Structure 1
């Protein structure tokens, strides 16, 4: 009995301390969520500072509740002490976030806040440069916290503790990665924005109502010039201002020529971006510009109407020369659908698209908007494939290829699945195409695995009421086709070293054309889409076994792609 009483008291004390720690960590979690919303929503620094003080109080209390001689002694007991050790580690990590990471975030806010980074005509490169060491310290602190969490017991026997550790580890790893990416972006941005002299880039506005490998047909283009952070957009024109070149303007290798040579991709702007690898399109664009003007550009940038709409969410509506107000909610429909009905004259419609590009560019460079919202919008554009960049400087391009901005087809092994559509009918009906991709990676055996791919395509176009320019079938103009139908060149980029076992279209055997691009097997076929009739392309592949995470990029078209990845882990 004499031994039971101290044991009961110790147990009660541990439970009380654990309850205290849980309460404070729960309060800290709520404060972090509130802080995140405040940072994104631009709440006052005073309110953010009050929340930081509260957060530190809660994480400090949680750390103290899980420290001390008795807690440490019990945590060293084999098996039984594992949850105590992990709870203490979680509290230590949370306190480190509050006391080490948040001060760097506050410093970053002061340096790159609403008045510090973005100015009326561009970017303050001095302020941008000051963020680099702050981001480096931030990444270092987060990485240290992540390593501490990863070293904790991950199977304590208490599901709530294990889940909390796993969730916090994922969040901290993501934040560390984001800080690293931001540091890379700063390192790239200073020279790209003319830190050492003027830099000029081809600016392509893609129209993804007519699909191309990188997103859509280049409907308008211009040049963006940056000089010591000051940005100007000039020479905006419609696509018909870029005449075909008499010979290829870029040498992209034998594999590129074998796959795209018949379409004259390296000399026609209209077919310049059939490949999903953005650097190919960028080199053709800058080559066409040099042939047209004699100017050697420093790189290329691309966006599309969906991207413009996301930018308008940050800048607010813009006024067009006609007096019409262009908003984020109507940009995509107006530029990729209704403008074809409004402007029956092709030249007038192209002038309208150039005016849209000019108005949004002017709003970005000279409008009054919240820099935090703008930077957040640019991040969304990059993640969604709506903003792409290529540099003619090999060292800058090598760094770019570590970011989402590059839009590359990576030359590395591992599971890979990319569905890419190119419009073969010369119409604008890809505005109405729905896509889904299911990639099912089977078990590994003997160095290989069998994988299946299910591609589903549905044309949602109305069967009446659309202008002929939207619905034309230039692939076969002499024969009648169902109203609203279209023809797409379907390409599936498979893993490096993959082999096709069999393919079906709507349950019937399908012969697909194989080719190679940047080491990947690419399987292609043309599929006619008729409104309301789903088409099913099913593939069975033999792929090299790999423990790498599947990479499944999504082509930036008008409608979102539904993507599902199911993987059986390789042992």
Structure 2
């Protein structure tokens, strides 16, 4: 039996402490990896340089197939090649109210919602409408996850002639490793490759090289699985199956990217970022998210979620960076500035009481999604500028430790999610 299926089965015992559902993985892995019947998935590489709630704007797309555990890459494309859906796909009313009908119209916007099952089902429908090819599910990954994989495989030399032709005469590396792949894909590629279509081709080609190395058996099995587990724990690898039976099992775990159901803690908060610049400036934004617990009367808790964002782009970003990266003001945001729509989710039955920007009370769009309160507001940062936003949530029952999920960014998760400032509240009377 070839490597991917062997990895999923043989390494479970050595990483059982890192997987909440080893038994479920052992049961799902064989059929999902084509042990009996071949499986084909849509692979979506999210580009964190332009934020979307689940990570970044969909960049490279490819079909990835498994037959008896052997992995092959098939048809490749990009989100821009899919075009505009006419008529648009139906978006359920709650999410349409929060994120607009763009989710069902543009592939680039399928993940404006943080709910990956919605994103994946929509992406699958768009792919099948455009290509006529049916897929059995959707797998999402980002360049940071690719860097974890490269830690296991070691450096990979670019061998694809088309990729080499794009790198000729440029400063792009001919070998990719864990230290340079994120910067290469999310920054240097834009400085060295002018045409967006060629940038998409480069993105897709790099993904193909890395997955080819995995399929060729490069890298130790244990370290490769550990890298994938790490990426999954940070929300950088997401998985959806078109099989209802399989999806019901996946929905029990964070890898499903669900915003409701058994994978969600009773005291889980969510902070999600959607780019409003129409560009690739999020590579330069550094963020931190912190939960701050407080006590109220009657034993209920109050939690403030503090989000601090800083635009680290150079002061001359408007001229020093390419217009493709800055957006050149095409959507009303000055070149070099970054506009972000910040969406905050609270636990079921809680309420958002107030929102602050720079310590001042401000208005926000209030909605509900799967019985969770949702608040959205927009900030804009000039180069060098920082801004702190706070959402205050009330009626939090203090029987479960509060946790927060955040949009995966270029930064390491440990640098984004800060330690919770805790308080001990008496139980409600």
TM over 0.5: yes
For residues 180 and 554 of structure 1, do their structure 2 counterparts lie closer, same or farther at Cα, with a shift above 3 Å needed?
Answer: closer
Counterpart in the other structure of 1:254? 93
Structure 1 or 2: larger strand share? Answer: 2
Runs (5+) with no aligned partner, structure 1: 1-116, 139-174
Please give the per-residue CA displacement for 1:394-417, whole angstroms capped at 9, x wherever unaligned: 221121122231112124673222
Matches within 5 A, 1:358-377: 358-377=208-227
| 1:394 has 2:244 as partner | yes
Please give the per-residue CA displacement for 1:118-146, whole angstroms capped at 9, x wherever unaligned: 53xx4249x93x888xx5xx9xxxxxxxx
| 1:327 has 2:172 as partner | no
Alignment length (residue pairs):
405
| 1:475 has 2:311 as partner | no
Counterpart in the other structure of 1:238? 78
Q: Distance in 1 between matches of 2:302 and 2:204?
A: 48
Shift of 1:431: 0.6
Q: Distance in 2 between matches of 1:405 and 1:541?
A: 26
Contact preservation (8 Å) 2:11, 2:221: no
**Aligned pair partner of 2:61 in 221, 232, 240:** 221
Shift of 1:339: 0.8
Q: Distance in 1 between matches of 2:265 and 2:72?
A: 40
Contact preservation (8 Å) 2:344, 2:391: no
Counterpart in the other structure of 2:171? none
Shift of 1:442: 2.1
**Aligned pair partner of 1:566 in 396, 421, 426:** 421
Contact preservation (8 Å) 1:427, 1:474: no
Shift of 1:187: 1.4
Counterpart in the other structure of 2:150? 312
**Aligned pair partner of 2:389 in 523, 537, 556:** 537
Shift of 1:524: 0.4
Q: Distance in 1 between matches of 2:289 and 2:227?
A: 26
Contact preservation (8 Å) 1:433, 1:559: no
Partner of 1:211: helix, strand, or coil?
Answer: strand
Contact preservation (8 Å) 2:18, 2:229: no
Q: Distance in 2 between matches of 1:364 and 1:268?
A: 31
For residues 468 and 366 of structure 1, do their structure 2 counterparts lie closer, same or farther at Cα, with a shift above 3 Å needed?
Answer: same
For residues 455 and 368 of structure 1, do their structure 2 counterparts lie closer, same or farther at Cα, with a shift above 3 Å needed?
Answer: closer
Q: Distance in 1 between matches of 2:97 and 2:19?
A: 41
Partner of 2:134: helix, strand, or coil?
Answer: coil
Instruction: Please give the TM-score of this superposition, normalised by the length of structure 2.
Output: 0.88
For residues 536 and 176 of structure 1, do their structure 2 counterparts lie closer, same or farther at Cα, with a shift above 3 Å needed?
Answer: same
Q: Which gives a bigger RCO, structure 1 or 2 (Cα 8 Å, sep 6+)?
A: 2
Q: Distance in 1 between matches of 2:16 and 2:71?
A: 30
Shift of 1:178: 4.2
Q: Distance in 2 between matches of 1:176 and 1:206?
A: 28
Q: Distance in 2 between matches of 1:179 and 1:525?
A: 35
- Alpha-carbon RMSD across the aligned residues, in angstroms, is 2.3
Counterpart in the other structure of 2:310? 458
Instruction: Please give the TM-score of this superposition, normalised by the length of structure 1.
Output: 0.67
Q: Distance in 2 between matches of 1:563 and 1:454?
A: 10
Q: Distance in 1 between matches of 2:201 and 2:302?
A: 51
Contact preservation (8 Å) 1:461, 1:531: yes
For residues 417 and 124 of structure 1, do their structure 2 counterparts lie closer, same or farther at Cα, with a shift above 3 Å needed?
Answer: closer
Matches within 5 A, 1:163-174: none
Partner of 2:405: helix, strand, or coil?
Answer: coil
**Aligned pair partner of 1:303 in 113, 128, 141:** 141
Greater Rg over alpha carbons, structure: 1
| 1:202 has 2:54 as partner | no
Q: Distance in 2 between matches of 1:332 and 1:177?
A: 28
Shift of 1:277: 1.2
Shift of 1:281: 0.9
Counterpart in the other structure of 1:277? 115
Contact preservation (8 Å) 2:44, 2:58: yes
Contact preservation (8 Å) 1:199, 1:298: yes
Counterpart in the other structure of 2:336? 484
Q: Distance in 2 between matches of 1:516 and 1:308?
A: 34
Q: Distance in 1 between matches of 2:402 and 2:282?
A: 27
Runs (5+) with no aligned partner, structure 2: 168-173
Partner of 2:119: helix, strand, or coil?
Answer: helix
Shift of 1:385: 1.3
For residues 454 and 368 of structure 1, do their structure 2 counterparts lie closer, same or farther at Cα, with a shift above 3 Å needed?
Answer: closer
Please give the per-residue CA displacement for 1:415-460, whole angstroms capped at 9, x wherever unaligned: 2222111001111110111111221222354363222222111111
Counterpart in the other structure of 1:123? 5
Q: Distance in 2 between matches of 1:339 and 1:292?
A: 27
Counterpart in the other structure of 1:79? none
Partner of 1:419: helix, strand, or coil?
Answer: strand
